[in-house]
Amino acid sequence: MSFLAEEARRVQSRLVQWRRHLHQNPEIGTEVPQTAAFVAGRLREMGLAVRDGVGGLGVVGLLEGGHTGPTLAIRADMDALKVTEETGLPFASKHPGRMHACGHDGHTAIALGTAEILASHREQLQGNVKFIFQPAEEGPGGAKPMIQDGALLNPKVDAVIGLHLGVIWDLPPGTVGVRSGPMMASTDRVEITIKGKGGHGAMPHQTVDAVAIGAQVVTALQTIVSRRVDPLEPAVVTIGSFHAGTAFNVIADTAVMQGTVRCLRESLRQRMPEHIERMVQGVATGMGAEASLNYRPGHPVLENDPEFTAFFAGVAKEVLGEGKVVTLSQPTMGGEDMSYFLNEVPGTYFFLASGNPAKGIVYPHHHPRFDIDEDVLWMGVALFAEAAWRWLDNQA
């Protein structure tokens, strides 16, 4: 085991302490002032140059190595979810309706632990390590504003790495999942409004029923994936919200639907608005109604750089052992705004399995009983630190 991995083990208790503090005090979206202040305070204690208020309440810590060289960025997200916690943990959220139900408390603790270890060896670093702590990964998106505010500049970032804890893939605790190319889907959003003609429920022939038309639209949209998209190319069109009507015996004149569109290839993603528009307009016009589509692009496809991913996989095998690193055969249709960073510079985003059935840690992300096995926190630090150290050394 490398000296960095040994040091990661030694800071495990501090990682748990930080993670539990963050877990008890979750903040939502772009409004993460206490979390950002906590992160900035720890980074300053470690001697890093800190810039806060980046793209809102983002925090960037710069560790300048003792030797001139390139810059590698380590990214962690800080925000929680609008979920009321039901774990019963002694360090459960103090705030009903707010919970770290996606592992971001662990991500932040791991990045802080990595900063502490590498800071103690700064004179040996062959370049710089930039630590990017972003808000609003769960929405509305914190990566893009931070990039626009210069998070990847001064000094310019040459590569980036990030991780996700949880149980997305069915892997034993402490197993690392890696994948080159597309790993997570784009996350676009649609809102469809159907305008018909309301009337009495007993006289449907005098109306243009927005509910009936909306139901046909929902059904028709499913044929986009089954009949308009190459069956070997993954895509998802999901309508998750349908609102119409005010009374049991009144035919609604308006129906509003909201949903999400997921793709793993940018070229398909660009075609989806046209497919949906044609389908919606065709159904609505054919049934005597008017329709409008508001298509809002979200996060792009998350694509890992093949060369950097292969490098990282090799590092992970040396740090944790060959059997602890798995090449993921399938991506996920979940999304992540880490994709914006990977669109700007090469790098990789990997999965560190933190579920543990033996401990009852089996619930998925965004569930009120979601938890992580804290025993894997040191592994995240070891992986980040070793990858940063070796990558910088390889560039020298």
What whole-number distance in Å separates Cα of residue 143 and Cα of residue 340? 6
| The token pair that represents 17 in the structure block | 């302490």
- Does 250 lie in the same domain as 342? no
- Does 308 lie in the same domain as 204? no
- Does 69 lie in the same domain as 93? yes
Strand pairing class (71-77; 235-244): unpaired
Question: Which residue, 261, 296, 331, sits at the end of a domain?
Answer: 296
137 is annotated as an active-site residue:
yes
DSSP SS3 for 386:
helix
Nearest to 199 by CA among 186, 210, 187: 210
Q: Is residue 172 reached through a cis peptide bond, with omega within 30 degrees of 0 on the bond before it?
A: no
Query: How many residues can be counted in the chain?
Result: 396
| The token pair that represents 313 in the structure block | 């996989």
Q: Going by C-beta distance under 8 Å and a sequence separation of 6 or more, which residues neighbour residue 258?
A: 189, 190, 191, 192, 239, 240, 241
What whole-number distance in Å separates Cα of residue 373 and Cα of residue 87? 13
Nearest to 313 by CA among 183, 118, 167: 183
Nearest to 188 by CA among 292, 281, 258: 258
- Active-site residue, from 7, 52, 137, 209: 137
374 is annotated as an active-site residue:
no
Range of the domain at 200: 188-296
DSSP SS3 for 261:
strand
Question: Which residue, 296, 326, 341, sits at the end of a domain?
Answer: 296
How confident is the prediction along the chain (396 residues), in pLDDT tens digits per residue? 689 999 999 999 999 999 999 999 999 999 999 999 999 999 999 999 999 999 999 999 999 999 999 999 999 999 999 999 999 999 999 999 999 999 999 999 999 999 999 999 999 999 999 999 999 999 999 999 999 999 999 999 999 999 999 998 889 999 999 999 999 999 999 999 999 999 999 999 999 999 999 999 999 999 999 999 999 999 999 999 999 999 999 999 999 999 999 999 999 999 999 999 999 999 999 999 999 999 999 999 999 999 999 999 999 999 999 999 999 999 999 999 999 999 999 999 999 999 999 999 999 999 999 999 999 999 999 999 999 999 999 998
Question: Which residue, 263, 296, 329, sits at the end of a domain?
Answer: 296
pLDDT in tens, 241-298: 999 999 999 999 999 999 999 999 999 999 999 999 999 999 999 999 999 999 999 9
CB atoms within 10 A of CB 211: 17
| The token pair that represents 301 in the structure block | 């496809």
Total-model pTM? 0.95
- Does 387 lie in the same domain as 307? yes
What whole-number distance in Å separates Cα of residue 21 and Cα of residue 364? 22
- Does 38 lie in the same domain as 178? yes
- Active-site residue, from 7, 27, 79, 336: 79
- Does 325 lie in the same domain as 229? no
What whole-number distance in Å separates Cα of residue 102 and Cα of residue 380? 16
- Does 261 lie in the same domain as 175? no
- Does 318 lie in the same domain as 282? no
- Does 288 lie in the same domain as 155? no
Sign of CA dihedral 263, 366, 108, 318: negative
- Does 287 lie in the same domain as 360? no
